[in-house]
Structure 1
Amino acid sequence: MFEFLMTGSLILLVLSIFACLYRVWKGPSMPDRIQALDTIGITLVGGVAIFSVLLGTHAFLEVILIVGILSFIGTIAFARSLERGVVIERKRVD
């Protein structure tokens, strides 16, 4: 029963990722697309965690951390790019 619930939740997470990919592709505005990309990152973290529980291993914990960090950094970079037009500001040295 436990494996059935975990498999079902993985299927729902995959459907959620497809819905977010549709929002990234057809989003009405750029903030909507950024939100969908962030949601894909969070969903991937959850999916990898469920997959790790299904396999009964701790080997994917590093993958969860890396995907979470990259998702966060990507969201911040997109938001700064949208707000200021540049991700990294360079100061002039005289």
Structure 2
Amino acid sequence: MPVPLRPIAVFALRSGILAAAVWAVRNGLSDGRTDQRAEDAFEDLGEGLALHRPLDRGVDGVRQTNATARLRRTLRWNGGGVEVDAGLMARVRIRRL
């Protein structure tokens, strides 16, 4: 008998959001800071997903991979709308000891 995935996915999503909220409250949220250089870098991101390994970072046992993503959408409905601009930058650096 096939298992309906939609109710399971909805339950998993709700419980995941709840678990993240409980974790954030329990561990306390730290005061963040705004770095204008980072804000400018987010504005320069192109829309979509990009992954690359810079050649100048791959020396002496160091490997680095960079990833960027940006999503810009305008959502409209009868009473108005909102513009969503989400950006993500990540760096993973691995060094041999």
- TM-score tier by shorter-chain length is under 0.3
Q: Which has the larger radius of gyration?
A: 2
| Higher relative helix content | 1
Structure showing the higher strand proportion among its residues: 2
TM-score (norm 2): 0.27
Task: Determine which structure has greater relative contact order: mean sequence separation of CA pairs < 8 Å that are 6+ residues apart, divided by chain length.
Answer: 1
